[in-house]
Structure 1
Amino acid sequence: MTGEQRPGERVTPTFDVPSGSAADRTLVPGRAAGPDRGARLDRVRQSNLATVLGIVHTEGARSRSGLTQATGLNRSTIAALVGELVELGLVTETEPEGLNRVGRPSPIVAPASRVVAFAVNPEIDSVTVGVVGLDGVVRQRVRRETDGVPTALEAAALAAEVVAELRAGLDPTGFVVGVGVAVPGLVRADEGLVRLAPHLGWVDEPFARQLADVTGLPTRAQNDASLGALAEARFGAGRGVDDLVYLNGGASGVGGGVLIDGRPFSGRGGYAGEIGHTLVNSSGVRCHCGATGCLETEVGQAELLAVTGLARWQADELDAALVAAPLGSPVAVEVARQVDQLAIALRNVVNTFDPELIVLGGFLGSLFGAAPERLVAGVTAQALPGSRDDVRIVRAALGRDRLMIGAAERAFEALLADPASAVRGA
């Protein structure tokens, strides 16, 4: 076994591999070398590279010593792993600034700015395309309005046009990993087939494949709210929370995403989390899904825009309009009505999932911002004791970036799972 140890330093036992680097050393002590030794070491190296890149991706720049502490790997292994990630062009390494101490400072490892993904979000009135870095920061965003609800082929063509424009302005030495799509509808996660996007009128549309065909880039699609949940969990209000439910409200209705034990809960086909189609009013109107009184029929952005006199493209101004509404005004009355219906849905969420955190995005966040006490009181009064005791309700922290970041996470998946193979296979 190898490993240099100083007082108080944790050292993970590793096996000597004379012909390989420290990055190829296994984390599982006590196993004898066998005929599959090379394959096993390669899997361990792949896992170690993914772990280090994942930490830098979600947590930002970290020192080598910080990575050593976070992973439990020894210093030489971390040095080798970081060196390989630098060679792959996925991270950069710099000396820390402003330090004045004895000894060699630990280099700072950060996501490379050259690594980006495109994010696409088709809606009933527009297609939005963004450029998102490996650091989770939205670099650029372009929203193209449509004359009507776009077909899948029209949305793909418009998205490809914007992708080409944005790509022309990127660093020519950069690395585009692919395209991630946040779709307001049911998406089969394994193939990107849009099974049903009712507001868009899409049924069994292979949108991921269509977009890949016109952009020439690997493309993955998923439900928009599920991706919003992932974005908030990794970069926003849900950081450090293992059990959360995210609800997103937009022009195409209300969707939800669930994380359990830190992992997305998607169901067998990728359709889980349709909280917008839970019952909140048994005397309500018929929903497009065929049921009666769904949350999505009782709570809607269109009604809020209408009562405030805002146009569809002014949705970002809802916050100020709802908060400024005088008590008893038509706006305040509509806010109270929608908040009460939302409280019923959140009661169901609390009783079903027992989450630590509920995150509200889009116009649902605006509703919460306008009447936070009313919403919390409504949920608390209706949810079961125990589950309701510790749950917190907060607004999404990423604002309009949430779906761009979430869609990009879908595009980054292969890279984060196997960095070396993703880069060399590109």
Structure 2
Amino acid sequence: MNERATTVEGVRRTNLGEVLRLVHHHGARSRATITADTGLNRSTVADLVSELATRGLVVEQEPDATRRVGRPSPIVAPSPDVVAIAVNPEVDAIEIGVISLGGTVQERTRVAFVRPPTPADVVDAVSRFVEGWQAGSPRVRIVGVGLAVPGLVRADDGIVRLAPHLGWHDEPIADQLSAALGLPVLIDNDASLGARAERLFGAAREHRDVVYLNGGASGIGGGLILDGQLISGAGGYAGEWGQTRPGILSDEDRRTDGGVLEDEVNRARLLQTARLGAVDDAALAVVLAATSDQGVVAEIDRQRRILIAALANAVNVLNPSIVVLGGFLAMLRDRDPEAFDADVRAGALEAPAEQVELRAAALGADRLLIGAAEAAFAPLLSDPNSFVERAPLAR
């Protein structure tokens, strides 16, 4: 158990949350497995599962019919009818997804913009999406909304202090969106949420010490997980890898005097060099993987060198067991992953380099939406009794 409880009600609330977390984070499992994982007795687990099923949070399925030994144990799975709305505004689009318990992406859409969207644009786009989606999915129940913002989000009150590429300053967008939808809205930095998603469902699932860097249209952000805990910092602003000063050994590799990491390792520079317009990551990945254009190859190699130096420093300072790269940063590595990983290790101290693994984000384009949904699910996972029906939007 991971929460202290001193009353009967508190103990039961904790146990309900533990069972729901198990099936949400680890998938369908038998009652027998849940009993073993939690250390609770069989009758208690049966009672907890029954209550979660009554609340519509889990569903019980018939066990594997091929099992012949002993009495088969029912399979408990997260309900696909309980969902969170996930939102990620970027400089060129707003991505919106429907994520069910278990981390499954049921639906996603991308609303393109020719300029960075304003908070009002986000509220309008999400309201329209939720209204239309609810009309076609009357049985599905929305827990809340998770908002992944490429900027500094104050932990105390969810105010976006600064999202420089969006042009947002001290924006109470979570409150605005909650008022428009009539739903709770949880907000955090996009890369911190991406780190959480990869830790729970993706490349870092078996790791407790994780460095995550995310490369998007708004620059480079990141997350840090130490001993299984997401590190937020004093105000919630930790993880701004893109604002660090890069180690550039050759002046020929520098493009911006006094620039930070995201000025030099930059998605827009790749698009410009490859003579691409406002394409999504999938299209960019295809071009970068296949190109033989010497100008594009040279730019890829330049950005790789600078990124490698930054990652070697991170390995030395933080001693992670895994470094996960998302977005265009993963594309830079994927051009030649073996050489990339070897160069990171060569630039780090021998001892931490021996332990570290480097991988691309396993969740791909869904990583930030799944992370945002996880923020929305957090209150439910802490207290399944808190779940209440949400009325459809009234517009």
Q: TM-score, normalised by structure 2?
A: 0.93
Matches within 5 A, 1:129-168: 129-168=96-135
Note closer, same or farther for the CA distance 1:318–1:419 as it changes in structure 2 (3 Å cut): same
The structural deviation recorded for 1:102 is 4.6
Letter in 1 for 2:196: L
Q: Secondary structure at the match of 1:73?
A: coil
Summarize deviations over 1:107-152 as a string: whole Å, max 9, x none.
0000011100000000111111100000101100011111311222
Residues 226-262 of structure 1 show CA distances to partners (whole Å, capped at 9, x for unaligned) of 0000011111111121110111101110000111111
Give distance in 2, aligned partners of 1:309 and 1:110: 47
SS class of match (1:80): helix
How many residues are paired up? Answer: 386
* 1:259 matched to 2:225: yes
CA distance in 1, matches of 2:279, 2:159: 28
Residue 371 (1) aligns with residue 343 (2): no
Which residue of 263, 269, 286 corresponds with 2:235? 269
Is the CA contact 1:305–1:315 (under 8 Å) kept in the aligned structure 2? no
Map of 1:357 onto structure 2: 322
**CA deviation vs aligned residue, 1:43-63 (integer Å, no higher than 9, x gap):** 111111111100100110000
Give the AA of the match of 2:358. I
Residue pairs, 1:238-387, within 5 angstroms: 238-281=204-247, 284=254, 292-326=258-292, 329-387=294-352
* 2:366 matches 1:406: no
| Residue 198 of structure 2 is aligned to residue 198 of structure 1 | no
Q: Which amino acid aligns with 1:109?
A: V
Structure 1: gaps (5+ residues): 1-11, 13-26, 29-36
- Give the corresponding residue for 1:128: 95
Q: Which has the higher contact order (CA 8 A, sep 6+)?
A: 2
Partner of 1:40 in structure 2?
7
- Report the CA distance between 1:424 and its aligned residue: 7.5
Runs of 4+ in structure 1 over 6 Å off: none
State the distance in 2 between where 1:68 and 1:363 align: 42
Aligned mates of 1:330, 1:357 — CA distance in 2:
32
Superposed CA RMSD in Å reads 2.1
SS in 2 for 1:221: strand
The TM-score, its normalising length taken from structure 1, stands at 0.86
| Equivalent residue number for residue 80 of structure 1 | 47
Tell me what 1:116 maps to.
83
Residues 13-43 of structure 1 show CA distances to partners (whole Å, capped at 9, x for unaligned) of: xxxxxxxxxxxxxx99xxxxxxxx9x61111
Larger Rg: 1
- Provide the C-alpha distance between the structure 1 equivalents of 2:118 and 2:105, rounded to a whole number of angstroms: 26
Distance 2:67 2:188 in 1: 48
Letter in 2 for 1:332: V
Q: Is the 8 A contact 1:275 1:295 kept in 2?
A: yes
Q: Shift of the alpha carbon at 1:191?
A: 2.2
Aligned CA distance change for structure 1 residues 418 and 122 (closer, same or farther; 3 Å): same
